[in-house]
Amino acid sequence: MILIQGKGVSSGVVKGKLYFYERPDTTVVKTTVDDLEAEKARLAEAQAKSIAQLEALAEKCREEAGDESAILFETHAMFVEDDDYVECIMETLDDEQCNAEYAVEVAGEQFAQMFAAMDDAYMQARAADIKDVTRRILNNLMGIPEGGIDSDEPVILAADDLAPSETIQMDKSKILGFATQGGSGNSHTAILARTMGIPAVCGMGEALKKDYHGRLAYIDGDEGTVVLDPDELTLTALKQKYAEQQERKALLETMKGQEDVTLDGRKVNLYCNIGSPDDVNAVLANDGQGIGLFRSEFLYLATNDYPTEEDQFQAYKTVAAAMGGKRVIIRTLDIGADKQVDYFQLNKEENPALGMRAIRICLNRPEVFRTQLRALYRASAYGKIAIMFPMITSVWEVKECKRACQSVMKELAAEGIPFNPETEIGIMIETPASVFMARDLAKLVDFFSVGTNDLTQYTLACDRQCNDLGKFFDAHHPAVLRALKMAADAAHEAGIWIGICGELGADIELLPTFLAMGIDELSVSPSSVLPLRAEIRKSIAQTCTLELLEG
C-alpha cells in the first residue's frame, strides 16, 4: 500500500485513475520541412479535428442554451475553412517550406491584426475569435488534448499545482477529484473543488510522484490522503466512508426547500460562490438562495484576449436570468496576485499580492473597467444584479468606482439601453484598511461582503498560497474574528447588511460566532449550502456568544 499524506481541502472520498497533468508547451518553433505534402496532410487532419470539436460544442450549446449560443461555435467552425485564412496558411507553407504550426500561427496573427485595426467595434472584437480558432488548430497540430485531459474516462487530476487559468479551461466532467503537490486550502483549485463538490487533497510534495500516472487511487478529502493499492483494512474503511458519505448526502436532500432560519427566528441569507455561468447548475441543485460572489475574473482567465462587452453581458444575463430574480452579486475583475492573465501584460512584481491587483487595475485602466460596468448594468435589466468591488482600502476608491457607475448609467440612458438604476453597490472587506475605514465606507455603499481569504492573509501576514505556515496560518485567529466584528458593527450602525464570501463562511464551527455578530449573509460553495442550512436550523442565535474573539 502507498499512502500519501497531504492536506484535505475539499471533503469526500472517490476512486479513480490518477492523471498527471502535463503543462503543454504551446510555443511554436519554425522548422523547415522536406515533405511539404505530408505537412499539408497534417494540417488537413488538424482542421478536420477542429471542425468536429467545434460542431460538437455547438451541438452541446444548442441542447443546453438554445440556438443563439451555438452560433459562436458554428462561426468558429466556418472560420477554420475560410478561403482567405486557408490561402494565407498555404502561401506561407509554399513560400517558406515550413512546418504547419508556423504557417497557422502567421495566418492567425495577420488576420487578428487586420480585424483589430478595423473601425467597427464589432469587427475589432472578432480578433479574439480568430486567435481562439488559431489556438485550436495549433493545439490539434501539436497533440494538445482539448480540455487539458487526454482520457475517455473521468480521472483524479494530479499536478504540481494548478493555476486558475489552467483549471478554468479544463473539461470539468472529466475530473473526479484533485491531488496536488503544492497548493493550500485557500488556493483556487481548492475553491473550485468545493464548488464542484468533489474531493481534493493538496500539499503532498514530492511524495505524489509522476510515476503514479495511470494507477488506480483513492482520494480522501477529509483525511487529506491519497492511497494506492490499499490493504484490506484501509479498503474497508474507505468503502465504509464512501457509503456514509452517500447516506449523509441523501439525508441533506431533506434540507432542500427549507428556510435558512434559526430556531429563534433569525434569518441568514445562504448564497453561493461561483466562477462561471456553468456553476449556476450546482447552485440550483443545492438550493442556494442567491449568488453572493460571482468571481467575474474567470471570464477573463478563460480567454486569450479581453472578453468583449457583449460576451460579458451574455454571461451575466444568463446567470441573472437563471437565478430568476434572486440576488446575484457580481464582483468586478479581481486579477493580479495568483490570478495572472497574460494579455493584461502586468509588470512582474516582487510581491504580487501587495501589488497591482483587483480594483487597482480597474481604476488604472478605465476602458477595461467601463466595458465591464456597461455589461453589468445592461444585464441588470434581466434579474437582480448587485455589483461588488474587490480589494478596497480607501474612501476615494469607492467614490471613483461610483463615479464610473454613474457615467456608465448616463451613457446607457442616452443610448436608450435598459438597465436598473437601483442596482445595489457593495464592497469587499478584505484588507485591514477597509476594516479600519469601515464606518466611512459603510456610508457609501449598500452592503459589505467580507473576503476572509484575503482578510486572513493580510491581517496575519500569511501568504494564502503557502502551505508550510502550519499553526501560524490560524483561520480562527481572534484578530480576524475581531476584524469581522468591527466590520459588522460598522455596517449595522450605518443600516446596511454584511455577508461573508470567503471560505470561512462555510466553517460550521464558526457559525455561532457569525450569528452572535449578526452576520446577515453567508456565501459559500454550492456543496456547503445544505450542511450549513442543517446547522442554522439547529441553532439559537440569542444564545450564541463571541467567546472565540478572546485572545
Interface with ligand PEP (CB under 6 A): 293, 295, 334, 430, 451-454, 501-502
- Closest approach of ligand PEP to the CB of residue 452, in Å: 5
Cell of 465: 498560497
For residue 501, the partner it binds in ligand PEP, Mg ion, none, with Cβ less than 5 to 8 A by kind, is ligand PEP
Query: Cβ(36)–Cβ(97) under 8 Å?
Result: yes
For residue 434, the partner it binds in Mg ion, ligand PEP, none, with Cβ less than 5 to 8 A by kind, is none
- Closest approach of ligand PEP to the CB of residue 117, in Å: 35
Spell out the long-range contacts of 34-41 with Cβ–Cβ below 8 A and sequence spacing 24 or more: 36/93, 36/94, 36/97, 39/93, 39/99, 39/100, 40/90, 40/93, 40/100
By CB under 5 A, how many residues form the interface with Mg ion? 3
Among residues 136 and 331, whose Cβ is nearest to Mg ion?
A: 331
C-alpha 406: how far from chain center: 28
Told to judge if 501 belongs to the known catalytic residues of this protein, a careful annotator would answer yes
Among residues 168 and 238, whose Cβ is nearest to ligand PEP?
A: 168
Given the residues 61, 202, 405, 501, the one annotated as active site? 501
Given the residues 98, 188, 202, 405, the one annotated as active site? 188
For residue 305, the partner it binds in Mg ion, ligand PEP, none, with Cβ less than 5 to 8 A by kind, is none
DSSP label at 526?
Answer: G
**Ordered alpha helix ranges (H), 210-308:** 232-252, 280-285, 297-301
- Closest approach of ligand PEP to the CB of residue 491, in Å: 17
Binding mask 414-433 for Mg ion (x = CB under 5 A): ----------------x---
Cell of 496: 446596511
Query: Cβ(131)–Cβ(302) under 8 Å?
Result: no
Among residues 82 and 474, whose Cβ is nearest to ligand PEP?
A: 474
Tell me the pairing of strands 13-20 and 216-220. Answer: antiparallel
For residue 287, the partner it binds in ligand PEP, Mg ion, none, with Cβ less than 5 to 8 A by kind, is none
Handedness of CA 273, 276, 280, 282 (dihedral sign): negative
Among residues 53 and 273, whose Cβ is nearest to ligand PEP?
A: 273
- Closest approach of ligand PEP to the CB of residue 365, in Å: 19
Among residues 203 and 451, whose Cβ is nearest to Mg ion?
A: 451
DSSP H or E stretch at residue 40: helix 36-65
Among residues 426 and 451, whose Cβ is nearest to ligand PEP?
A: 451
For residue 101, the partner it binds in Mg ion, ligand PEP, none, with Cβ less than 5 to 8 A by kind, is none
For residue 295, the partner it binds in ligand PEP, Mg ion, none, with Cβ less than 5 to 8 A by kind, is ligand PEP
HEC string of 98-136? Answer: ECHHHHHHHHHHHHHHHHHCCCCHHHHHHHHHHHHHHHH
Contact between 338 and Mg ion by CB under 5 A: the answer reads no
Among residues 53 and 186, whose Cβ is nearest to Mg ion?
A: 186
Nearest-CA neighbor of 338 among 314, 357, 362?
357
Handedness of CA 383, 490, 452, 164 (dihedral sign): positive
Among residues 53 and 195, whose Cβ is nearest to ligand PEP?
A: 195
Helix axes 452-460 and 478-493, enclosed angle (nearest 10): 120
- Closest approach of Mg ion to the CB of residue 391, in Å: 7
- Closest approach of ligand PEP to the CB of residue 385, in Å: 18
- Closest approach of Mg ion to the CB of residue 455, in Å: 8
For residue 125, the partner it binds in ligand PEP, Mg ion, none, with Cβ less than 5 to 8 A by kind, is none
Pick one of 105, 305, 309, 454: the residue that binds Mg ion (CB under 5 A).
454
How far apart CA 149 and CA 22 sit, in angstroms, is 9
C-alpha 496: how far from chain center: 27
CA distances from 416 to 250, 419, 464 (A): 50, 9, 45
How far apart CA 261 and CA 249 sit, in angstroms, is 21
For residue 513, the partner it binds in Mg ion, ligand PEP, none, with Cβ less than 5 to 8 A by kind, is none
Handedness of CA 454, 457, 458, 463 (dihedral sign): negative
Contact between 451 and Mg ion by CB under 5 A: the answer reads yes
Told to judge if 477 belongs to the known catalytic residues of this protein, a careful annotator would answer no
Contact between 277 and Mg ion by CB under 5 A: the answer reads no
Tell me the pairing of strands 497-500 and 447-450. Answer: parallel
Q: If you search the block for the grid coordinates 461561483, which residue do you land on? A: 274
- Closest approach of ligand PEP to the CB of residue 194, in Å: 12
Catalytic site positions:
188, 501
List residues binding Mg ion (CB under 5 A). Answer: 430, 451, 454
